[in-house]
Structure 1
Amino acid sequence: MPTFLSRQQFLRSAALLCAAVAMPAIAAADAFPARPIKLVVPFAPGGNTDVVARLLSQGMSETLGQPVVVENIAGANGAIGASRVAAASNDGYTLLFGTAGTQAINLSLYKNLSQKNLADFEYIALVTSIPNVLVVNEAKTPVKSVAELVVRAREQRAGMSYGSPGTGSTVHLSGELLKSAARLDLVHAPYKGSAPALTDLIGGQIDFIFENITPALPFVQGGKLKALAVTSSERLPLLPHVPTMKESGFPSFVTATWNGVLAPKGTPAAVVKRIEAAALKTAASTEFKTKVAALGGEPRQLDSAAFRNFTQNEFKHWEGIIQAAGLQRQ
């Protein structure tokens, strides 16, 4: 004869089964991390994203008790490195140091990317924001304000050029935003990185650039380049006398790249929480804040939920800039 369980016996058995299923996952999360963690920087070594990633990895290594090793996988405005992380095992041992490019720009500007969509990542923590600065070589472009630059560009009518470290970067799109907002006829000159773009600006080969503050700052402080405006919402402590683009007559002109930690979709919540705590603890430290500020960056501390919401808003922001500029998907 079949044996029937009472309701109480059934519920007890179900609870024991659920506990048995959950125990391996809980044990794995409790043991995390048991080996080194890889933090993928989707750009070449030496840029501001790479520098900030290495600062963050040091603090996270101390908190987690395992090395957090930076690996550079460059290409396609960060899409190659981002796609590899999206396709990696979702165990918390492969992370992405994402940017505005990888998470908010690429999907609007490029087609047929191997990168998965925004929903295919777990958003862990945002740690920095790095604005751009509009700089000129006064010997080539003798202006002292954004207003004078706009007047000069209109008088020249066509051919004024601006550089960038590559198509799809926040530097490129900041130039496109000025072009559409001021209705200018500008020529984009893409380079393979910030160094050659700044070299040509100093050499008089291009007229201006909206460069990330980190690589441009030494040239501004050394007097080789003139800073006309910053693209942050407020003035920067390192350049207190340089106005914002908002102050310069463009009230909606706020652009910046940013850096945050992401993991492949499906990474266990307990593992995400552990990485989030380590990242935010590092980002809140005096040492990290001081070093990021010295680069011209702004330390940020957004947790998983806030970072996800921030990225969704940034995606809409950059999508609007791309559409207003009339840029075609490439």
Structure 2
Amino acid sequence: MTFTRRRLLAHTAAACALPALAPAWAQGGKTLRILVGFPPGGGSDAIARLLAERLREPLGMNIVVENRPGAGGQVAAQALKNAPADGSTLFLTHDHTISILPQVVKNAGFEPARDFVAAGGLATFVNAFAVSPGTPAAGFNEYVEWVRRQQGGKSAVGIPAPASTPEFLVKLLGERYQLDLVSAPYRGSAPMIGDMLGNQIPAGIGSVQDFIENHRAGKLRVVAVLGTKRQAALPDVPTFAELGVAGFEDTPYYGFYAPAGTPEAVLQRFSTALAQVLAQPAVREQLTAMGLTVGHMTPAQLTGRERAYTAVWKRIIQTSGFTPQ
């Protein structure tokens, strides 16, 4: 057999093998499921539905968003672990489920480094402190004084999930201001905000994208944000650093994950499509308006961001004395 013929046969075999690398995406009519670990109506759900609509064209397939709420994303993460590693199921999540939850739950039912692979990142964001409409505080310092005077130094602060970043923030703020702040965990940001709007709880901590629409409508007030700089969506709201509170500078992330064993070709194809969608001005504008700092991350970049963030919060969790439950 001549060299030329051998090379031709090799190329032909490689070409025939390509569809096997991405069986879920190689044929028309296939559907991609995007799992979301929180209920409809929250920030993660809104982001997932926007991107699902835009990703249909570059991926050439139907995309559905499937809400699997419960345990701060734990239910959805376990569903991803058990999904086929063929590109038919992805998980859109933020830092809590990947970086925080495995450190605070004794048996989460998954290990990110073992069970998942990054498919592409889309943004970083910051958490925010907001007060309910019935709480008479125009800013965060006024809130602190209100708790001291009217609440006897004790008050509840809503958080979207137990043992989450917001819960540790409540603890750190209580220590910093010598207040007895008690975390009130919810099953997602939507029910927490519902209670805030009804003045069932005086304050809450969640992502900017959870609060932004109600803040703009004057239904609640975001009084401080984390991070190193003010947010474009909330230019008049100070950072905690501006208020003299250090240690809240690191920013969480949003990204897509696939089951371990998903072919590299599938991950790269999705990441490329995601980059194309995030480059669209209308998409960037919508995500920025939600309070996100938009920026595509390749699978490798998302993995690096995840590991760095996990290491930061490992130190915070250990210093807090928290015992995994």
Same fold (TM over 0.5): yes
Residues 38 and 188 in structure 2, CA contact (< 8 A), matched pair in contact too? no
In structure 2, what is the equivalent of residue 185 of structure 1? 180
> Could you say if the C-alpha distance between residues 84 and 19 of structure 1 is closer, same or farther in structure 2, counting changes exceeding 3 Å?
farther
Q: Deviations over 1:197-256 (max 9, x none)?
A: 234334444332123222322332233323221123221222211111111112321365
- Select the structure of larger CA radius of gyration: 1
> Could you say if the C-alpha distance between residues 195 and 96 of structure 1 is closer, same or farther in structure 2, counting changes exceeding 3 Å?
closer
In structure 1, what is the equivalent of residue 137 of structure 2? 143
Q: Quick one: distance in 1 between partners of 2:111 and 2:322?
A: 22
- 1:198 counterpart SS class: helix
> Could you say if the C-alpha distance between residues 117 and 260 of structure 1 is closer, same or farther in structure 2, counting changes exceeding 3 Å?
closer
Instruction: Report the count of equivalent residues.
Output: 320
In structure 1, what is the equivalent of residue 253 of structure 2? 258
The one-letter amino acid of 1:26's match is: L
Q: Quick one: distance in 1 between partners of 2:268 and 2:250?
A: 29
Instruction: Give the TM-score of the pair, scaled to structure 2.
Output: 0.86
Displacement of 1:23 in angstroms is 6.0
> Could you say if the C-alpha distance between residues 293 and 66 of structure 1 is closer, same or farther in structure 2, counting changes exceeding 3 Å?
same
In structure 2, what is the equivalent of residue 208 of structure 1? 203
Q: Deviations over 1:59-113 (max 9, x none)?
A: 2210011112211112111111112212222111111112211111111111112
The one-letter amino acid of 1:53's match is: A
Q: Which ranges of structure 2 fall in alignment gaps of 5 or more residues?
A: none
2:51 is equivalent to residue 59 of structure 1: no
Residues 191 and 197 in structure 1, CA contact (< 8 A), matched pair in contact too? yes
The one-letter amino acid of 1:145's match is: G
> Could you say if the C-alpha distance between residues 139 and 59 of structure 1 is closer, same or farther in structure 2, counting changes exceeding 3 Å?
closer
Instruction: Give the TM-score of the pair, scaled to structure 1.
Output: 0.85
CA RMSD of aligned residues (A): 3.0
2:115 to 105, 120, 125: 120
1:49 to 44, 48, 57: 44
2:74 is equivalent to residue 82 of structure 1: no
2:20 to 6, 25, 28: 28
2:289 is equivalent to residue 294 of structure 1: yes
Displacement of 1:178 in angstroms is 1.9
Residues 140 and 223 in structure 2, CA contact (< 8 A), matched pair in contact too? yes
In structure 2, what is the equivalent of residue 194 of structure 1? 189
Further displaced range: 252-261 or 288-297:
252-261
In structure 1, what is the equivalent of residue 166 of structure 2? 171
Further displaced range: 288-297 or 178-187:
178-187
Residues 128 and 300 in structure 1, CA contact (< 8 A), matched pair in contact too? yes
Q: Quick one: distance in 2 between partners of 1:152 and 1:16?
A: 78
Q: Quick one: distance in 1 between partners of 2:231 and 2:85?
A: 38
The one-letter amino acid of 1:326's match is: G
In structure 2, what is the equivalent of residue 93 of structure 1? 88
- 2:156 counterpart SS class: strand
Residues 250 and 309 in structure 2, CA contact (< 8 A), matched pair in contact too? no
Q: Which ranges of structure 1 fall in alignment gaps of 5 or more residues?
A: 1-8
Identity %: 31
